[in-house]
Amino acid sequence: MSAHTLSRRKLLQQSLLLSGALASGRALANNWPALSQPDLPATALANNEAYWESVSTFYKKATGTVNLEHGYWGKMSLPVEQSYIDLTKMVNQQLSYYARKDWYADAKAAVKAVANSLAVSADEIALTRNATEAMHNLLFQYKGIKPGDSLLWADIDYPAFQRTMSALAEQRGATGIEIALPAQASKQQLIDLYKAKIRTTPNLKLMLLTHASNQHGLILPVAEIAAYAKQHGVDVICDCAQSWGLIDFTLPALNVDWAVFNLHKWIGSPVGVGALYMRKGTLDKVAPYPGESDPDNTLVHKRVHMATSNFAAFLTVPDAIRFHEQVGPAAKMARLKYLRERWVTPARTMAHIEVLGATDDASASGMGAFRLAGQTRREQVNQLQQRLESEFGVFTVGRHDLASGSCIRVTPQIFTTLQEIDKLVDALGKLA
Ligand SMILES: Cc1ncc(COP(=O)(O)O)c(C=O)c1O
């Protein structure tokens, strides 16, 4: 992959590093050959093997066991990895001299890249170390909860966030309520279920919506549910930790006031980068981080205290987003959904397999889940995960927080091959 590193950039970098001259992240901006994308709509690119083969040359894949567990965190492409290495070296050489002088402007460039990609304004975004940090800040600094209020979440939400919501309700004398969604659902079913719950929950104040569930990849119709919640005076926090980059969307289309993101999953940044979105005009409901001050309620970054963080990881963000956008967010979503369909379609014909999650295209993502019919217990699913790995060479993960029971989550990446998916299908057939 030496072609991915332009010699001009290398020369600049080396001369800056050798001379000890101050180098900002911007000065080290990486360049790599453009991906040659056929001039086709995203849906037509989904099964264009030549394109995805060319994309996969930008990644160094492990050999051996087939990894279908890409929901934990994402792989950096080689150009992004190279940026991260260069930026790490730069920060480690320049130390505080860099951080005191150039870091602030470089961090602003990272915020701007995030905001541009999500189609919002830079003063609505703050960087965080992960989605959890952004979620904690929103939840614990939210001023609206009184004793007797209700807080709502669902079984498909990120388990740690469900527990945090529950703890928050207890702390504030509020009632925590969980909505149990069906194991399989369509967009309209989800809208109907949430609307009924919003209508019938007394004193509902705050709810969590997970755009893409980490259990089975189900996509929630966030815009429709959030609009209904707003009509009923309910505040919504949207967890986009798993959705950004897995599916193609911009924030205005989600119609939420507050959302949390990860860049270290599907955007392919180094580990340690998340983001917080707060729509302009909504900051008064969420206090600044304890000890910070924002009298006019206009400064999103005052909701977070970043402390000393991985500078290089944040500096790599513009390159990570640039690479993600070159691959094409819509094409990426279409390819990942195509890869899910490739195992889900045959799996649905197997009486011994239960496929979970989306029953329609609108609720589907590239992430999916299944279990052996009727085997919903944690131990049964953990055993199945072991079998898939040791007997069939396919690595997945058990997820255990759906109301309907445990399941195996299957998550391909854009460099996953058709043969790798077929290996899973073959294994599924033999599990009978
Ligand atoms: C839906 C969802 N929300 C939140 C998180 C938490 O992400 P992080 O650990 O990076 O904060 C995850 C991580 O897997 C997730 O899938």
Beta bridge partner(s), residue 213: none
239 pocket-lining for ligand 1 (C-beta < 6 Å): yes
Interval between CA 37 and ligand 1 midpoint (Å): 31
Confidence of residue 9 (pLDDT cuts 50, 70, 90): low
- Sign, CA dihedral 84-87-93-97, equals negative
Cβ-Cβ contacts under 8 Å for 307 (sequence gap 6 or more): none
Residue nearest to atom 7 of ligand 1 (CA): 131
Which pLDDT does position 201 carry in this prediction?
Answer: 98
Look at residue 422 and tell me whether its pLDDT is greater than 90.
yes
Q: Where are the domains of the chain?
A: 107-322, 331-430
Gyration radius (Cα) of the chain, Å: 22
Give domain 331-430's CATH number out of 3.40.1110.10, 3.30.360.10, 3.90.1150.10, 3.40.50.10070: 3.90.1150.10
pLDDT in tens, 373-402: 999 999 999 999 999 999 999 999 999 999
- The span from the CA of 219 to the CA of 212, in Å, is 5
Q: Within its chain, how far is the Cα of 334 from the centroid?
A: 16
Residue nearest to atom 12 of ligand 1 (CA): 241
Which pLDDT does position 19 carry in this prediction?
Answer: 67
The one-letter amino acid at 68 = L
CATH 3.40.640.10 fits 107-322, yes or no: yes
Which pLDDT does position 26 carry in this prediction?
Answer: 76
pLDDT in tens, 56-98: 999 999 999 999 999 999 999 999 999 999 999 999 999 999 9
Interval between CA 242 and ligand 1 midpoint (Å): 6
Cβ-Cβ contacts under 8 Å for 418 (sequence gap 6 or more): 49, 339, 342
Burial of 146-159, coded b for 16+ CB within 10 Å and e otherwise, reads eeebbbbbbbbbbe
User: Mean pLDDT over residues 293-298, rounded?
Assistant: 98
Is residue 200 classed as helix, strand or coil in its secondary structure? helix
Which pLDDT does position 2 carry in this prediction?
Answer: 40
Look at residue 248 and tell me whether its pLDDT is greater than 50.
yes
Which pLDDT does position 179 carry in this prediction?
Answer: 98
Among residues of the chain, what percentage have pLDDT more than 90? 91
411 pocket-lining for ligand 1 (C-beta < 6 Å): no
Which pLDDT does position 372 carry in this prediction?
Answer: 98
- The span from the CA of 225 to the CA of 220, in Å, is 8
Confidence of residue 1 (pLDDT cuts 50, 70, 90): very low
Interval between CA 131 and ligand 1 midpoint (Å): 6
Q: Which atom of ligand 1 is nearest to the CA of 239?
A: 3
Interval between CA 252 and ligand 1 midpoint (Å): 22
Q: Which atom of ligand 1 is nearest to the CA of 131?
A: 11
Is residue 263 classed as helix, strand or coil in its secondary structure? coil
Interval between CA 165 and ligand 1 midpoint (Å): 15
Look at residue 154 and tell me whether its pLDDT is greater than 80.
yes
Q: How far is CA 412 from CA 146, 364, 366, 400, in A?
A: 43, 14, 7, 19
Among residues of the chain, what percentage have pLDDT more than 70? 95
